[in-house]
A and B are shown apart, each in its own frame.
Chain A
Amino acid sequence: MIGLIGLIFARGFFADSGVQVALAVGAGVAVVGGVVGVFTVMRGQSFAGHAIADLGATGGAAAVLIGVGPLWGFLAIGIAAAGTMELIGIQRPRGRDLATGIVLGAGLGLAALFLYLDSTYHSTSGATVTILFGSVFAISPSTIPIVIVLGLVAVGLVGVTYRPLLLSSISPEIAAARGLRVRVIGMAFLLALAIAVSLAAVTIGAILSTALLVGPAAAALRLTKRPGVAILTASAIGLGATWLGIVLAYDSYDWPPVGHGWPVSFFVVVAVFVSYLLAGLPTRFRRVRRAGLA
């Protein structure tokens, strides 16, 4: 038993303060991602999440430039982007896709400029990797309370609006006919989405953050159609993928090239992808069996 544990967790894993912070932040982010992600998928807003993440890279790069933590940049730009989307109604890919694409491109262009300035005129050499792909082992412990507070705000927003949000996600028309303020609910949800994306960006980087948000939720919704169960399942998958990623990244210190360790983001995204594929298996089996019986 002890041998097995030693095989899974390389030496020093639990004593490592960087790992402890990563596990704590990763857990918070995964749970928030599960809650918000399920609604994101149900509302067909994974594109909006992706847009917020891309623009968040700009905010993160700008934050490093003015000397504050990237999280604040992700958050500020994310909320601004969510508000703008709500105002001009482009949360879905079909809505004004050309304008959205051009704005996204301009945002990433700005991110390129800021990252260039970060590394050329400042001596912040690691900024590019941190912003785009995340540096979960390099998060300062003082970030944990911020993650918890932001996570509570996002989960709280979803919790307070849970029933109307559910109805307006399944059928906006019925929700509107029942007199629900669909627009206000949508705005509150976009705010929660912006927070969830920013938190995910801290863990696995701005570019990959939607993978952690949408992937576990999509896998969960393949397994169950009940929203409550889906939220729990998505949180569990997200947590499993994030923690597995952290363990493997820590273990990879001994893999070639020895002493460097593979990036956490890679492992997390692979774990999310595999869980999505696996979640599709039960339905396929059922279909095969039904075909066999007929």
Chain B
Amino acid sequence: MRAIRGRLGLVVGLVLAGLAVSGCASSGTTPATFGSGSPGAIVAVGAENEYADVIGQVGGRYVRVSAIESNPNTDPHAFEASPSVARVIGSARLIVQNGLGYDRFMNNVEAATSGSGRRVIDVQKLLGLPDSTANPHLWYRPETMPVVAAAVARGLAEVQPAHAAYFTANAAAFKRSLTGWSDALKAFGERYPRTPVATTEPVGDYMLAAAGSANLSPATLESAVMNGVDPAPQDVTRESGLLSGHRVKVFVYNQQVTDSLTAGFLATARRYGIPVVGVYETMPTPGYDYQSWMVAEVRALEAAVAHRVSTERLR
């Protein structure tokens, strides 16, 4: 009885913490939990909701997943952990985080909370990427999530060996379901090779590269916007020239890392009729899972290049 009550308390605590995380993030309150998660389920955390979604898909009814970052109106680069976040992380048996300094708060909280037998999957380390990797937005990289799903399946199987086959099967099914995205990327690349695009921030760059597009924006501008410092005026002029001179076919706009400067580029793109495609730091919810989100991004690119139609926000 006491065990059940303790577990109940944990569930209530998790839900409250999840509500606090998404709730204080105002506006569209997003559900921070993924996966069906029955009692006895493995408590897991995805630092960003795209990773939480993958954990949920692999773990199915045997996991209860929380996402730390899920608000589409905030910039995860600038996120700072609160005590409620620490509580969620402290209770997790499996954690997936991006690495590359993108979610360093996770390391801080993990170091501060005792977690015996906790498994932390750092996607950067999992993929063997060096710390000098310039673009931390690994979820837009087609190679990333199949590897993450397999690692999640292994991690969950270590916690609950009885369900190992179930986790492995789910990971395989997840990998198969991504062919829709990789096929769409390949088709786009063949139909519209070396499509010139401009971006504000590197978030979608792995996908653009996989789609065979040519990103003409200065890399130094992208990194300045990402890091919240002022880009050099030379770069700003070049970027504006890409849009006003119709030298790009698509303007790929990071909806979560914005300031007056990026808003200025957006206005320029609209004025000169350059179609805009919105890209995200976290999975836009509700209505998307990881696969459908990624496919929607490629469809938006197609709509922009083929029909000059903007998809500023995914809905």
Contacts and interface: CB of A to CB of B under 8 A. Distances in A.
The 5 tightest CB contacts between A and B, nearest first, are: A261-B232, A259-B220, A119-B78, A126-B259, A125-B228
A129 B229 contact: yes
Interface centre among B25, B220, B260 (most CB of A within 10 A): B260
B239 to A, nearest CB: 11
15 contacts: A12-B237, A16-B233, A16-B237, A17-B237, A18-B237, A119-B78, A120-B75, A123-B73, A123-B75, A124-B259, A135-B261, A253-B232, A259-B218, A260-B220, A261-B234
Interface of A: 10, 12, 15-19, 22, 69, 116, 119-130, 135, 137-138, 140, 249-250, 253, 258-261, 263
Contacts, number: 102
Interface of B: 24-26, 71, 73-75, 77-80, 218-220, 224-226, 228-237, 240, 255-261, 264
Contacts of B219: 259
Contact of A125 (B26, B78, B220, B237): B78
Contacts of A128: 228
Contacts of A124: 258-260
Contacts of B75: 119-120, 123, 125
A121 B220 contact: no
A127 B240 CA distance: 21
A121 B233 contact: no
B236 A137 contact: yes
Given A16-B237, A126-B230, A253-B232, A121 B258 contact: no
Contact of A120 (B80, B224, B240): B80
A122 B257 CA distance: 9
Contact of A261 (B78, B226, B228, B233): B233
A129 B231 CA distance: 11
Contacts of B237: 12, 15-18
Contacts of A258: 220
A18 B74 contact: no
Contacts of B255: 123
Given A18-B237, A123-B258, A259-B220, A137 B230 contact: yes
Contacts of B24: 121
B3 to A, nearest CB: 38
Nearest to B264: A140
A263 B231 CA distance: 9
Given A122-B73, A125-B257, A18 B78 contact: no
B267 to A, nearest CB: 10
A229 B224 CA distance: 42
Contacts of B218: 259
Nearest to A10: B234
Contacts of B74: 120-123
Given A125-B259, A138-B261, A250-B232, 13 more contacts: A17-B240, A69-B260, A119-B228, A120-B79, A125-B225, A125-B257, A126-B225, A130-B259, A137-B232, A137-B236, A138-B236, A253-B234, A259-B219
Contact of B236 (A15, A18, A123, A130): A18
Nearest to B232: A261
Contacts of B26: 121
Contacts of B236: 18, 137-138
Contacts of B80: 116, 120
A138 B239 CA distance: 13
A260 B78 contact: no
A16 B240 CA distance: 11
Contacts of A116: 80
B260 A123 contact: no
Contacts of A140: 260, 264
B73 A121 contact: yes
A260 B259 CA distance: 18
A12 B241 CA distance: 13
Contacts of A15: 237
Interface centre among A10, A126, A130, A259 (most CB of B within 10 A): A126
A260 B232 CA distance: 6
Contacts of B258: 123-125
